[in-house]
A and B are shown apart, each in its own frame.
Chain A
Amino acid sequence: MLAVSIITFTMLRVLPGQDPAILMAGQNARPEDVEAIHKSLGLDRPIAVQYLEWTSDVLRGDLGTTYFGRQDILEEVKRRLPASAELVLLSLSISVVVGVTFGVISAVKRNTPIDYVVRLFAVMGQSVPDFFLLILLIVIPWTFWNYSAPIGGSRTLWEDPMHNIRMYLPPALILGIGGAAGIMRLQRTTMLEVLRSDYVRTARAKGLSGTGVIIRHAFRNTLTPLVTTIGTSFTLVFAGSVVAETVMGIDGVGVFFIQSALQRDFPVIQFLVLYTAVVVVIVNLIVDLSYAYIDPRVRYR
């Protein structure tokens, strides 16, 4: 993580790109103006010094401001985070619920029409691009019911529940069902393995009912690989959320980062690298901890 942050920091400052000072000074800027902006941004010092300063600022919670609006980056991300987080978590929950449910059904009803339909649906969900479905999500309700997805910013669930649900649920369904495909498929595979295992056969032989066996014995043993897949699903939903934010006009962190990349807003992109790393580390940590919780055999040294 340190390496990644040093590399991006150096890359953003050394590579051709643009000198932010010239951008900010504008046309007809005199060299001394540019110099002054360099000074004020601290760009006149060696890169190593700049990096150490940036690191110490970050550790103190100061992530700097955007180039063009002088907005506090941390505040801006804090403001936008709830929207993105809600979209991602909602999508992920839908993925897990849909994926696990249909994965189990598909395994239990193996080789029946239900199984085929579910599997076909899964592979479709994985193949039809989110952004294509999101376009339809705007156009179809508009055409038939003059309905529009809400615009004008996010509201939290307790501020305005209807607005919140209308804003997040439809795109989350699309992202969630797309993300469910992988979970479902894995769930089906592991479930099939477990169903063939000796202890399930034993439980059946002891006369336990079908559903009981599936839930009590079989399902529990599919949890560990499931958690791994949910972890990777997260990355997918995370990327999908950026597309959904763009299409549905949700002001989350994803659009902020895209806009900043197009604006060459270096402080934001520098932060983006850090942000991504933190999110990924947290997700991996949760996944690892879940292993320990689910499977008593896994204990952390």
Chain B
Amino acid sequence: MARINDEFMRQRITRRRLLQGAGGTALGAAAIATVGCGGGGSSGGARTPGSTAPAEGTPKLGGILKQRQQVGYPNFNPFGPGIGALVQGLFVGFALYDHLFYVPTDTGEVIPFLGTEFEIAEDGRDVTVTMGEAVFWDKPPVNGRDVRASDVVASYERFKEQIPLGFSWLQEVLDSIEARDERTVVFRQNRPWAWFFTASNAGSPISSSIIPQEIVGDDDALDSDPIGSGKWMLAGHDSGQNVKLRKFPNWREPGRPYLEGVDYLYAPDNTLAQSAFSAKDIDTITGLNSRELEDLESRFGDEIVTSGDLQRDYRCLMLKNEPPFDDPEVRRGINLALNRDEIRQVLNLGDGELAGPLPPAHTAFVLDEDDPDLQEYFRFDPAESRQVLEAAGFPFDQEITLKYSNFSDAPDLAEAVAQQLRVVGINVKLPGAEDIISWLSNTLGPGDFQMTSFTHLAYEDPSLPLSFYVPPNFMGYDDPEVTAAFEKAAATLDMAERVEATKDAQRVIIQKMSPMLNLYSAVNYSARWDYLKGVITGRGSFGLFNSGAWLDK
């Protein structure tokens, strides 16, 4: 799924974090395991997500943070219509609705949100979550009542009913969800699932949103007048653009957030957004390349704070598993024609790391650089590509269409891929960019493409990136060995063993040359004015739940 919104889709992790990642993930997994074995042990509700570095002084209350909004939301309904719902679903999931828990990528540790205690049954299937206290916004028909277990159940049930995006934990693994009492929720899975707590599964920023029972089935309300229990309330917008959020005074964490609100200013154009940042019309800017960053630094020096992070999102070329791409040899030929270094140079001025079946930010789970399979995956050899394709009987005279969206640099990516495939003699047609929302719903969702190139979202755990190779998926790809390897990793609860199983799954995917060919993850740069404090950087999307940002002006 394409990268949709700077703030919500790009998750950054600093290089320092990256190096620590392996250890951190193992630690986090240990924490989950402890909870599981101990039966009812609390993983600690006292920790505050997004604590501020003490050097920045005492937070000032109030003030409105101004940020860029890159796409307009068609509505605020996380249920659709269609899979275009991803666009607004992520936004409302992070901004308006609360969740039971969340797992930051860098530590892999379960951070309790509304949930306070987590208990995994001996067989690894049932998970029981005890909830803390919180209230919804004070708006009819909910009128500020308590958040109950039945709300959680109703929300998960509707997300489960929702038309699936592909292989999804909700449909494939979750059997049912029940409210044992007003404060206890039980998830019943049909098999042990090691990734339960992570963002692709029960802790997803979209489908773990807690929506009040009264409106969870009411599309009119969800479209335009949502009610949640998150720290921000929807205060205004122009048909999904220029969204204004204001502090929810009765949020479950007293005293937070420090800011009075966040205003998103709609600016689809990069140039306009960067000039708005220079004029201090917005307080942060993301998605810069190294030269743009140098430019800002030379102009504003110490007035701005900058950072550069390896993105968790990653670019890929997806092939439909139909002739001619249902032949692994053809796919091998295509893969040999892809010059990942060149694409990275052209799109991100060379800043980034190549991506195997898992993007590089998944650190511990990723194949080593010197892994022979991974090296083979990254090998570029147009001459051999041509030979392989000819041997496989590839139809060079046939026009092959490469579809893409108009979002951000997606057209540049498609063009670069097309250019490289043309070098080996493939007759690639670019039909023109589709609007991002309709590309999601018309092209990717129904699998209506021969080839499509795009930037995947940032995923918190390896399960979702790997699940794209498992049926049902957009490519119509079904390989029993790949599926078995994926299932094995997901069923392995022990951390060290799971890392190995995940690596094995990636090797199988490479050997089978499964039809989603990943390219690389970019390093992007961001800047903010120095009066914005308490920002969490380098902790993936976890930073989006930060309630500790404040303005020193």
Contact = CB atoms under 8 A, between A and B. Distances in A.
A68 B82 contact: yes
A44 interface: no
3 tightest CB-CB pairs across the interface, nearest first?
A: A69-B74, A152-B265, A148-B279
A76 B224 CA distance: 13
Contact of B278 (A27, A146, A265): A146
Contact of A26 (B83, B263, B299, B434): B83
A138 B66 CA distance: 20
A263 B447 CA distance: 17
B538 interface: no
B241 A251 contact: yes
Given A67-B81, A71-B75, A27 B272 contact: no
Contacts of A26: 80, 82-83, 163, 165, 441, 445-446
B302 to A, nearest CB: 16
A284 B227 CA distance: 48
A249 to B, nearest CB: 5
A262 B281 contact: no
B238 A262 contact: no
Interface stretch (A16-24, A190-198, A207-215, A287-295): A16-24
A301 interface: no
Interface string B430-459: 000111011001100111000000000000
B266 A27 contact: no
Contact of A68 (B81, B238, B274): B81
A264 B442 contact: yes
B240 interface: yes
22 contacts: A18-B442, A23-B82, A23-B446, A24-B80, A26-B82, A26-B446, A27-B447, A28-B163, A67-B81, A70-B81, A142-B279, A148-B275, A152-B242, A152-B265, A152-B267, A247-B269, A247-B272, A249-B267, A249-B268, A249-B269, A262-B438, A264-B438
Given A24-B441, A79-B239, A263-B438, A146 B165 contact: no
B65 interface: no
Interface in B348-383: none
Given A22-B446, A151-B272, A263-B438, A69 B240 contact: yes
Interface of A: 18, 22-29, 33, 66-71, 76, 79, 135, 138-139, 141-142, 146-153, 247-249, 251, 259, 262-265
Contacts, number: 140
B215 to A, nearest CB: 15
Interface of B: 66, 68, 72-75, 77, 80-84, 163-166, 219, 223, 238-242, 263, 265-269, 271-276, 278-279, 281-282, 299, 406, 433-435, 437-438, 441-442, 445-447, 472, 474
A67 B271 CA distance: 30
Given A151-B273, A152-B265, A27 B435 contact: no
Contacts of B472: 27-28
Contacts of A248: 272
A68 B84 contact: yes
Contacts of B446: 22-23, 26-27, 29
Contact of A150 (B163, B239, B281, B474): B281
Contacts of A70: 74-75, 77, 81, 219, 223
A213 B155 CA distance: 79
Given A24-B441, A25-B82, A153 B75 contact: no
Nearest to A248: B272
Contacts of A27: 83, 163-166, 445-447, 472, 474
